[in-house]
Amino acid sequence: PRVAAFAHKVTREPWGLDGTAKIDIRRQKDLADCFAGQKDTDCPKGDPEKEIYKVISPAEQEQSDLTYAITIIQPGKVGDEYHMTRGHFHKRADAGELYFGLSGSGVILMQDRLGSVTKEDIAEGAVVYIPPGLAHRTVNTGQGELVFLAAYSPQAGHDYESIVRRGFSKRVVERDGRAELVDA
């Protein structure tokens, strides 16, 4: 075969990968342009250093057709908006993705190039397919960490700029103690 097989083990408490893994932490200050609320109600002063999520991926990215990453989104909100990922389109228009829910619960927002949004629930045991051409952002609406594994092509590429420019047209916020999808 052109590329070597690999087999890794996902560990819990804390979530991680055995062997050498790369960990990227996204803090509130890294996502300042994402959340509508500037004030953090979890933390009265607003804590720019607060971890919102982290992404754990294998250190060695093989030149393979498939790879994966594990995302752990901490529970909580910034203002009334639940913790979420930055969100992106794939640069390649033919690159979809599969998400496998490992723990917790939340929603995946998917947005097309015209700004039309649909959503799917994600929770432990869920398998969600994200079709090519849709931007995706994951939101933790649960009480605990939301953890999922994403399987995708390393050639997919991540386009964050389009989201920085236009944002998502829907937000997931807390209203009367419940998660609700509202216009951005």
Chain positions contacting ligand PAN, by CB under 6 A: 55, 69, 71, 85-88, 97, 136, 138, 150, 152, 156, 158
Among residues 136 and 171, whose Cβ is nearest to ligand PAN? 136
CB 164 within 8 A of CB 86: no
- At closest approach, how far in Å is the CB of 86 from ligand PAN? 4
Tokens for 89?
Answer: 């389109």
153-163 as b/e: b if 16+ CB within 10 A:
beebeeeeeeb
50 Rama class: left (phi>0) / alpha (psi -120 to 50) / beta: beta
55 binds, among ligand PAN, Zn ion, none (CB under 5 to 8 A by kind): ligand PAN
- At closest approach, how far in Å is the CB of 56 from ligand PAN? 10
Among residues 134 and 172, whose Cβ is nearest to Zn ion? 134
- At closest approach, how far in Å is the CB of 133 from ligand PAN? 13
Q: What's the gap between Cα 165 and its chain centre? A: 18
Among residues 78 and 150, whose Cβ is nearest to Zn ion? 150
CB 109 within 8 A of CB 136: yes
Size of the site for Zn ion (CB under 5 A): 1
Among residues 81 and 97, whose Cβ is nearest to Zn ion? 97
User: Does the CA dihedral 160-78-149-110 come out positive or negative?
Assistant: negative
φ and ψ at residue 166, rounded to 5 degrees:
-110, -20
Segment 60 to 99, residues that bind Zn ion, using CB under 5 A: 97
- At closest approach, how far in Å is the CB of 54 from ligand PAN? 9
**Site residues (vs Zn ion, CB under 5 A):** 97
